[in-house]
């Protein structure tokens, strides 16, 4: 199957009921839940590895309080990760549907067997984990280690599978030409992403262990000895900068440019993630490992908060760096396929949308403008909340709005091209202006043939290709 055939169904004229989250943009909703889920998953995956390590040391007689630690740590893991991890996992799927059904639909059609494999890992993770939690005390050391090994293998393999799908969104690689699921899965950013996430899991587990150790009713010396063992999982953080550089080098040039200064927000979030990560690593290596200082509960919680900040920064950067795509070269952020833009500029994007507007507007043109907003802008923007369109376009005059929206991919290279007719674009302009003027009861319809011709000219001039640097470069290279 070719990539085009995979994408084929995306272009079907399915309209979904549009939904908005008030002043919060949809991306922030899925991002917020995603960060929580990723952090919990890191805790579960790294926790499994850490517990296996401690159990192994205990069996060798090199960690006398290992069993006490395991009891406390696993209880927290069950209460937090088994519950919230499972629930937010389902929540991620349902939220993805609310935000962009076309994107999650394409992902399911392409990677359903990978997800099904991941499901078998989930089953193994839950069952082996619960068996250990419930019966571990009754089992022989060898069997305990085997069960914990199974649990951590299952947890890490769920990361392995989902990592292939998530990294494919940014770097689909040879899948674009072949449609081969494995070429998409083992895509260019698969390995740096997997290794980086694995280290993040280990660090999260070590920091969580520091908090758990502080809750244990044993002497400070014994707590300190345990801390010395569990903090070894922080050492691999030293590899993170190298993996981050590898990742940055391998992602598309335009995505890299958003991260390294091209987009202020993404660069700032990258900075938040990198600095948080560096602070945790510095404290871990210098204070905990080198100087063997004790980590009290408050410090452990602060370090966990920093790690959460690093995760949040990293996940937002990963999402943001894909712009203007949700799946690179395949689907724009607004769920319109690049191959469909030219057609939609002739047939229109919103006129067939059957779902009514929440309220009647003064003119048909304004109603069309509101529909165009729903189809093309709503996924990443709100009207007047986060990333609000009215605010973003308020200082532009009408002609500037027409030009900037028609040449949207050049106005901001991380925006997708406008995918509608000149009539739809004019309707969007009028609707934005009407909004900016506080929705007056009377508003003139602009059906000026000259204006529409000018918009058509802008659209033809800019073309339908994305405006990001890599595409521009490749376009320039073409004879």
Q: Out of 57, 117, 279, 394, name the contact with other proteins by CB under 8 A.
A: 117
Q: Out of 24, 59, 76, 127, name the contact with other proteins by CB under 8 A.
A: 127
CA distance 260 to 267: 6
Residue 130 in contact with other proteins, rule: CB under 8 A: yes
Residue 6 in contact with other proteins, rule: CB under 8 A: yes
Residue 13 in contact with other proteins, rule: CB under 8 A: no
Residue 98 in contact with other proteins, rule: CB under 8 A: yes
Q: How far is the CB of 67 from other proteins (least distance, A)?
A: 15
For other proteins, the binding residues in 21-50 under the rule CB under 8 A are: none
> If you search the block for the tokens 């319809």, which residue do you land on?
445
Cα-Cα-Cα-Cα torsion 424, 426, 432, 437, nearest 10 degrees, comes to -140
CA distance 82 to 210: 20
Residue placing its CB nearer to other proteins in the complex, 37 or 256: 37
Using alpha carbons only, what angle is made at residue 302 by residues 298 and 308, rounded to the nearest 5 degrees?
Answer: 145
- The residue range among 95-103, 239-247, 308-316, 386-394 that interacts with other proteins, by the rule CB under 8 A, is 95-103
Q: Out of 23, 62, 71, 93, name the contact with other proteins by CB under 8 A.
A: 93
Q: Is 29 exposed, middle or buried, given 0-12, 13-18 or 19+ CB atoms closer than 10 A? A: middle
Residue 109 in contact with other proteins, rule: CB under 8 A: yes
Exposure b/e, 115-139, CB count within 10 A at least 16 = b? eeebeebbebbbebbeebbeebeee
Q: Is the four-CA dihedral 361, 364, 368, 369 of positive or negative sign?
A: negative
Q: Out of 26, 95, 152, 263, name the contact with other proteins by CB under 8 A.
A: 95
Q: Out of 221, 290, 291, 358, name the contact with other proteins by CB under 8 A.
A: 358
Cα-Cα-Cα-Cα torsion 6, 7, 10, 13, nearest 10 degrees, comes to -110
Q: Out of 23, 60, 64, 123, name the contact with other proteins by CB under 8 A.
A: 123
Q: Out of 38, 104, 166, 327, name the contact with other proteins by CB under 8 A.
A: 104
Residue placing its CB nearer to other proteins in the complex, 115 or 294: 115
- Residues with Cβ within 8 Å of 192's Cβ and at least 6 positions away in sequence, in order, are 243, 244, 246, 247, 250
> How many CB atoms are closer than 10 A to CB 256?
18
Structure tokens at 271: 């900075």
Kind plus residue range of the DSSP H or E element containing 449: helix 449-462
Residue placing its CB nearer to other proteins in the complex, 15 or 242: 15
For other proteins, the binding residues in 181-220 under the rule CB under 8 A are: 181-182
Residue 388 β-bridge partners: 382
Residue 265 in contact with other proteins, rule: CB under 8 A: no
CB distance 368 to 423 below 8 Å: yes
Q: Out of 23, 60, 62, 87, name the contact with other proteins by CB under 8 A.
A: 87
Q: Whose CA is closest to 146, among 29, 51, 274?
A: 51
Q: How far is the CB of 256 from other proteins (least distance, A)?
A: 29
Diameter of the chain measured on Cα atoms: 85
Q: Out of 62, 134, 352, 364, name the contact with other proteins by CB under 8 A.
A: 134
Kind plus residue range of the DSSP H or E element containing 256: helix 253-257
Residue 174 in contact with other proteins, rule: CB under 8 A: no
Residue placing its CB nearer to other proteins in the complex, 69 or 82: 82
Task: List residues binding other proteins (CB under 8 A).
Answer: 1, 5-6, 8-9, 14, 16-19, 79, 82-84, 86-91, 93-95, 97-98, 101, 104-105, 108-117, 119-124, 126-128, 130-131, 134-135, 137-139, 143, 146-147, 150, 154, 179-182, 354-356, 358
């Amino acid at each position: 199957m070719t990539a085009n055939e995979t994408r084929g169904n995306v272009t079907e004229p399915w309209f979904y009921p549009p939904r908005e989250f008030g002043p919060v943009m949809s991306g922030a909703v899925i991002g917020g839940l995603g960060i929580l889920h990723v952090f919990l998953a890191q805790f579960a995956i790294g926790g499994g590895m850490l517990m296996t390590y401690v159990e192994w040391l205990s069996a060798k007689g090199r960690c006398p309080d290992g069993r006490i630690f395991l009891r406390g740590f696993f209880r927290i893991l069950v209460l937090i990760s088994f519950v919230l991890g499972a629930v937010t996992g389902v929540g991620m799927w349902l939220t993805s549907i609310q935000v962009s059904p076309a994107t999650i639909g394409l992902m399911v059609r392409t990677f359903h067997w990978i997800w099904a494999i991941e499901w078998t890992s989930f089953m193994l993770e839950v069952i082996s984990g619960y068996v250990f939690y419930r019966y571990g005390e009754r089992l022989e050391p060898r069997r305990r280690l085997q069960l914990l090994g199974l649990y951590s293998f299952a947890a890490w393999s769920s990361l392995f599978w989902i990592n292939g799908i998530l990294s494919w969104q940014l770097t689909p690689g040879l899948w674009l030409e072949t449609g081969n699921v494995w070429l998409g899965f083992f895509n260019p950013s698969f390995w740096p992403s997997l290794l980086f996430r694995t280290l993040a899991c280990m660090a999260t587990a070590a920091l969580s262990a520091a908090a758990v150790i502080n809750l244990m009713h044993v002497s400070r010396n014994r707590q300190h000895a345990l801390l010395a063992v569990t903090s070894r999982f922080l050492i691999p953080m030293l590899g993170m900068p190298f993996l981050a550089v590898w990742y940055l080098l391998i992602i598309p040039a335009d995505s890299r440019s958003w991260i390294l200064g091209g987009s202020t927000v993404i660069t700032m979030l990258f900075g938040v993630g990198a600095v948080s990560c560096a602070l945790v690593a510095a404290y871990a290596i210098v204070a905990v490992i080198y100087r063997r200082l004790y980590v009290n509960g408050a410090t452990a919680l602060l370090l966990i908060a920093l790690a959460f900040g690093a995760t949040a920064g990293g996940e937002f950067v990963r999402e943001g760096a894909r712009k203007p795509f949700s799946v690179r070269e395949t689907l724009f952020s607004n769920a319109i396929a690049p191959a469909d833009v030219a057609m939609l500029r002739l047939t229109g994007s919103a006129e067939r949308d059957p779902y009514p507007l929440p309220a009647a507007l003064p003119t048909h043109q304004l109603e069309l403008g509101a529909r165009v907003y729903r189809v093309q802008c709503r996924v990443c923007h709100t009207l007047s909340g986060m990333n609000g369109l009215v605010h973003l376009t308020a200082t532009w005059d009408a002609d500037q709005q027409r030009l900037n929206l028609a040449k949207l991919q050049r106005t901001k290279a991380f925006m997708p091209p406008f995918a509608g007719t000149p009539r739809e674009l004019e309707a969007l302009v009028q609707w934005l202006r009407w909004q900016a003027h506080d929705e007056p009861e009377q508003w003139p319809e602009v059906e000026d043939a000259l204006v529409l011709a000018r918009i058509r000219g802008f659209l033809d001039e800019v073309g339908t290709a994305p405006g990001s640097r890599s595409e521009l470069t490749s376009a320039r290279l073409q004879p």
